[in-house]
Amino acid sequence: MSLAKIPVIPLVTIFIITIIAAYVIAWYYREEYDPMRYIKAYLIYAIPFLILSLVLHVNIVLIIGTYLFGAVVLVFRNQHYFDH
């Protein structure tokens, strides 16, 4: 497998956007103690995320992995706000 066949720029783009979205959602709901609110917000983010990823021609496996990684970042970042 050649490294040149991996879509690096689109993958990095959706990765950075996902990290930013997770941080923004966690910050916005930092005073809320109901996890369903930020989970719903992250599920709503899935629609533009999927559209952008498909437009950028990112593989489905990478889309799913990036989205799940963003969910992990959201949970841990939100826990940071709950701890303070």
Q: DSSP for 16-60, please give it.
A: HHHHHHHHHHHHHTTT---HHHHHHHHHHHHHHHHHHHHHTT--H
Across 44-58, average pLDDT: 93
Token pair of 28, please? 């916005």
Minimum mean pLDDT among 18-22, 24-28, 65-69: which range? 24-28
* Counted domains in the chain: 1
Asked whether the predicted pLDDT for residue 69 surpasses 90, the reply is: yes
Model pTM score: 0.82
Q: Which domain holds residue 31?
A: 8-83
Residue 55 covered by a domain: yes
Is residue 3 a part of any domain in this protein?
no
Residue 39: band (very low, low, confident or very high) from pLDDT cuts 50, 70, 90: confident
pLDDT at 74: 87
Higher pLDDT, 74 or 81: 74
In a domain, 1, yes or no: no
